Structure 1
Amino acid sequence: MKTYVVSVNDEEITVNSKEVSKLNIVKDSDEEYHILEDNKKYNAKLISANFLEKTLKVEVNGNSYTIAIADEYDQMVKKMGLLAVNTKKEKNINAPMPGLILDILVTEGQEVKEGEQVLVLSAMKMENIITAPSDGVVSVVNVAKDDAVEKGQLLIEIA
């Protein structure tokens, strides 16, 4: 028997496949359903569905609900902490590949914005524009123009 954690408007309930199979569901159209449970009738309408994210927006008896469904796999992934998002953004800039520094577009103490161009690296006969990974202030520039760098070498530190 499969168990699901269903979030309805951020309130979690646990249901199993046996409980779901007990529901008397009649499909009226592609979006409309009649549901009978314990002699109570519910009119349900599917507003939208995102099957990749396992979410639904439904209207039941005129009330709107946002539903997220977590199967056993989703529950295990959550329990293991694999859904935790690392919110710490990388600030330092490392060389993505070996190459030659053609130009440095920032100076120490300069404020930079995420995506702003900070240096030009020549690698494999191509000029690569390296950008700031996040907002900050350039604290140290560890390279100079015409320096040869290795992959992973720290180029610029941003505080």
Structure 2
Amino acid sequence: MKVISENKREFNVEFDKNASSGTIDGNPFNWDVKKIKNNLFHVIKDNKSYNLELLKLNPEEKTVFVKINGLKYKFQLKDKFDDLLHSLGMDNLLVTKVSDLKAPMPGLVLSIDVEVGKEVKKGDALLILEAMKMENVIKSPTDGVIKSIAVKTSQAVEKNQLLLNFE
């Protein structure tokens, strides 16, 4: 499996059957991992101690967000199937296309920060939805172009109601 860090450094990582040892870029390693509680682990590798917290795991995007000794890291995982698709020029099959954005909760649309035809990047603020007296910034789940907007400012929306479409 390939592990790609935020700075695009790529590591080839292989684990043995019980995941207590393996190789990183062909170099053998051993480690001891103890689960402290839900997403908190204590790791000893090369006589060094690490506190590791699993912050988020996104199986669809194959990303892992962790905190190691207080520092946050994001890793992208690639398996042999991903490499095969890449070698065949079929990388587009790895990307799930989002066409609709639905309300994650019932609430009131306070503002709409985009317009039809606007190009947006993943993570851009699209609108603000007030729910339970809290303002929630609804961000773009993908890169794309706004095709249509199905709601208006000051409109009440229900959970899973269509907010906008992407081209």
TM-score, scaled to structure 2: 0.47
| Structure with max Cα Rg | 1
TM-score, scaled to structure 1: 0.49
